[in-house]
Amino acid sequence: MNLEELYNTYSLDLLSSRALLIDKMNSLESAQISCINCSGVCCTQSKNSMQLTLVEALTLYMNLKFKNILNDELILKSAATIKDARIDQKIYVKNRELRRNYTCPLFMFKALGCPLDKDHKPYGCLGFNATTSGVKEGENCQSDLGLLKEVDETYNTKIAQINAILANALSTENFKMTIPEAIVFFNDFESKNC
């Protein structure tokens, strides 16, 4: 299967799993609690260390393709982010990989803020929101751990099954990757398999 077929078969099935998080975000926005006045610090190296599972990574990548945002500039920017943030230099502490902070290559890319559609965003990005209005530098923001746990408990079995299928189809043992790694990984996959 090519990436579009994998997306149609597996990612589409999970788009609705973001509904709870999107509803929460929409209700915050209705209460004037939004990111509108903020510099977007949660997407930058000072705060962001987002990692995605394979199906989240595929969903993100295909959204970029469908929106015509994926181009050489973004691929190069992603590769530079991997190098600059030393994401490719894996360090393990007590058998756990040390997460690297990095500025998301999608941040302010061809759009104010994030160019992804909400139903294609990583769960962690959707679950991190302001808790008061007028936030300027992320001063009152946090992850809604309760809601993320609820989504995880509802969908984790299905997500794990899909990730196993994708790992096999994509010939990778990398079940988790950062956003720039996802962009480079799927672009490489397409280059080799076209």
Give CA–CA dist 41/141, Å, rounded: 10
**Is residue 42 near ligand SF4 by the rule CB under 6 A?**
yes
AA letter at 60: L
Residues 102-121 that bind ligand SF4 (CB under 6 A): 104, 106-107, 114, 116, 121
**Is residue 179 near ligand SF4 by the rule CB under 6 A?**
yes
Binding mask 85-104 for ligand SF4 (x = CB under 6 A): -------------------x
Under 8 Å CB-to-CB from 97, ≥6 apart: which residues? 90, 91
> Measured from the CB atom, is 55 or 116 closer to ligand SF4?
116
**Is the Cβ–Cβ distance between 120 and 114 less than 8 Å?**
no
Can you give the C-alpha Rg of the chain in angstroms?
16
**Is residue 52 near ligand SF4 by the rule CB under 6 A?**
no
**Is residue 25 near ligand SF4 by the rule CB under 6 A?**
no
Helix axes 179-193, 54-66, angle to 10 degrees: 70
Angle, CA of 148, 154 and 160, to the nearest 5° = 95
Q: Using CB under 6 A, pick the residue from 38, 58, 64, 159 that binds ligand SF4.
A: 38
- Give me the residues that bind ligand SF4 (CB under 6 A), please: 35, 38, 40-43, 48, 50, 104, 106-107, 114, 116, 121-122, 125, 128-130, 135, 138, 141, 179
